[in-house]
Structure 1
Amino acid sequence: MSRRVEQKAQARQRIAELRAAQERRKRLLIALGAVAVVVVVIGALVVVRLAGGGKQTATGLSGAADAGIVSALAAVPATTFDQVGSDGVQGGPAAITAPALTTDGKPKVLYIGAEFCPFCAAERWPVAVALSRFGTFSNLGTTHSAGDDVYPNTPTLSFHGASYTSKYLAFTGVETTTNEKVDGQYTPLDTPTAADQQTFETYNEPPYVKSGGSIPFIDLGGRFVSSGATYTPETLAGKTPTEIATALKDPSSPIARAVDASANLYTAALCQLTNNQPGTVCTTPAVTAAAGKLTQ
C-alpha cells in the first residue's frame, strides 16, 4: 500500500509541476504580448509625430532656399512674362492716398504675413518674383503652410531673416508666426516695428482693402496696398519649392500663369514707385498692360 500511496503522491506532484509550468508560460506570453503592444503603440506615435499628427504640426522641410531657387526667381524670361500677361489675376495692388512709405530715401515694400497661412504661402512667390526684377534677396527661406489649415502644406518661401538689396527699393518682410502649434497656438516669430504695425492697422481696412485684417498684407511705398492672395494656393499643391521655381520660366505651366501673372501686376505698381526704372523691366509689354489694371 505504501508503494501505491507514494506513486499517487508523485503523480500529484508531477501534475502540480506541469500546471505551474503552464502558468509560468502563460504569464510569460501575456508579458511578451504586452511588450509587443507597447512597442507597436510607440512606433505608431513616432509615425504620427513625424507625419505631423497629434500636435497638428505641418509636414515637410523648412530651411534656407538653395541658390537655384533664388536664381530662378530673378531669371524668368521677359517672353514668359509677356505671354502670361496679367489676365485672370484676382485682386492685386490697389491705389491708395497715403503718406509715402520709405526707408533710407527709397520707396519701401512692407509685407506682413505668417508661415502658417496658405494664402501668404501663395502670395510670397509673385511678391518675390516681382521684387527680384529690381534687386536681390539674401537668406530667403523655404517652408510650407500649416498642415491643419485649408490648402495644407502649401510649399512656399519665407521672408523670416531674409534681406533685400536694391538701388531702387527697400523691403521689409515680417512673418509673425511659424507654421507649428504649441499648446494650440502658432509659435511667434517676427514682431513688426510700431510704425509697420500702424501701417498694417491703418491700411488693412476698408476703404483701402475690401475686407479688413487679412494676411498677407503688402504695402508698396504708401501708393498701393494688397491684401490676401491673387490666385488659389491649390495651384502649388504637391510641388516642392524647387519644382515651383523651375516652372516659373514655362509660360504653359499653370504655376507660371498664376505666379508670373500676379508678379506682372506687382511689377507695374513698383515701376510707379521707381519712376519706371529700370527701363528694361518697366517698359515691357506685360508691365505696361498691367499698369492699366491697377485697381483704384
Structure 2
Amino acid sequence: MSKRELLRKEQERESLKMKRRKVAYVVVGVLVLSLIVVGTALGINKSRQGPAVDTSQDAISKAIVAIPEDVYDKVGPGSAEFPTTKTGNKPDKGGKVQLFYVGGEFCPFCAMERLPLAAALSRFGTFSGLKDILSSSTEKELPNIPTITFRNYKYSSKYVDLDAYELSDREGRQIASLPEAKQQIFDTYNPKKGIPFTYWGDITTSSPSYTPWLAGGDPKNVAKALSDPHSKEAQAIVGGANLFTAEICSRTGNEPANVCTSPGVKAAAKKLR
C-alpha cells in the first residue's frame, strides 16, 4: 500500500472516530439533561468553544508565520509531498484564490496539514488569533502532535480568501458546523468524509507533509527547528509550505512577485502535478 493510500485510510478512520465521538457526547448530554435538568450542560456552538490546549505560549503560532526567507529558499520542496485529487471543476480565473479547509483539533493528520498551510498563507496575508494546541492524546501511534488551530482565527489577504473550520476539539467534541453551501461541497467532493480536507475548486489537497515523528514532540523545539533548513521539521513543514505557496502562485499570476519568484517556491513548483 502506498503512503498516499495509507494516509487516506487513516484520514477516513479519523472522520469515523469523530462521528462516533459526536454520537457519544449527544447520548451523554441527553442523560445529563434528563437527570439533572440543566439546559446548558453540553451546549455546543461557535461562541462557546472553550480554550485550546496551550503548552508553549504560542511558540509555534508565532514561528510558523515568521519563517526566514532564506530558510524557505534553502529547503525548497524538502521532504514534503503534495497529493491532489481532481474535482472535475475548472480552475477559478480572476479574483482571489478561494480556499476551504475542514479539520478537527483531535485529528493528527489535520495537525500536520495546518502547519505548512498556515505558513504558506502567511506569505500572502496576515493571521491573527492562531493558537498552539496538541492533537488528541488517545491516538496510539500519533498522540499529542504539537500544532496550531484555526479555531477563532482571522485572516486578511488581497490574494486569498480562507474559510477554515475546526469541527471538533481535542477530545472530539463538536465545536462548529459547516454552513449548508460548504457542507454540500464537503459531501460532494469528499464522500468518505475524510479529514483534513482542503478544497481549491478544481482540486482537493490533503497533508503535504507526512510527519508522524512530530507525535509527542516539544512545541518549543518544533518552533525552533523551523529556523534550521536542515532539520527534519523544516524539511517537512517548510517544504510543504513552499508547495502550498507554489500552488497559490499558480493561481495569482505569480503575485506577489517577491514570494512567487523566490528560489524555494520555484523549486517546489517543479514538484507540482
Q: 1 CA distance for matches of 2:78 and 2:117?
A: 17
Where does residue 106 of structure 1 map in the other structure? 96
1:66, distance to aligned residue in structure 2 (A): 5.2
**Percent of aligned positions that are identical:** 40
State the 1:249 CA deviation.
1.6
2:231 counterpart of 1:253: yes
SS at structure 1 position matched to 2:246: helix
1:234 to 213, 228, 231: 213
CA distance in 2, matches of 1:238, 1:232: 11
Structure 1: gaps (5+ residues): 1-60, 181-185, 206-211
SS in 1 for 2:170: strand
Aligned match of 2:198: 218
From 170, 178, 198, the equivalent of 2:184 is 198
Identify the residue that residue 52 of structure 1 maps to in structure 2: none
Aligned residues: 222
Three-state SS of the structure 2 residue aligned to 1:108 is strand
Q: Deviations over 1:104-132 (max 9, x none)?
A: x5222111011110111111100010001
After superposition, the CA RMSD in angstroms is 2.7
CA distance in 2, matches of 1:244, 1:290: 22
Aligned to 1:263: 241
Q: Answer yes or no: is 1:142 the counterpart of 2:132.
A: yes
Q: Once the 2 structures are TM-superposed, how far is the Cα of residue 81 of structure 1 from its aligned partner?
A: 1.4
AA partner of residue 155 (structure 2): Y
Q: 1:87 to 1:254 in 2, by over 3 A?
A: closer
1:82 lines up with 2:73 in the alignment: yes
Residue 93 of structure 1, CA deviation: 4.3
- Secondary structure of the residue aligned to 1:244 is helix
Distance 1:199-1:235 versus aligned 2 partners, 3 A rule: same
| Structure 1 CA distance for aligned equivalents of residues 264 and 53 of structure 2 | 33
- Amino acid of the residue matched to residue 238 of structure 1? G
The Cα shift of 1:271 comes to: 0.7
Q: Which residue of 1 aligns with 2:156?
A: 165
Instruction: Give TM-score, length-normalised by structure 1.
Output: 0.67
Structure 2 residues not aligned, in runs of 5+: 1-51
- CA 1:261 to 1:94, structure 2 compared with 1: closer, same or farther past 3 Å? farther
Alignment match, 1:188: 174
Length-normalised TM-score, structure 2: 0.73
1:283 deviates by 0.4
Distance change (3 Å), C-alpha of 1:111 and 1:64: farther
Structure having greater relative contact order (Cα 8 Å, sep ≥ 6): 2
Give how far 1:100 is off.
5.4
Find the aligned partners of 1:95 and 1:107 in 2 and give their Cα distance: 17
For residues 118 and 266 of structure 2, the distance between their equivalents in structure 1, rounded to whole angstroms, comes to 20
Match of 1:276 among 254, 263, 266: 254
Counterpart of 2:236 in structure 1: which amino acid?
A
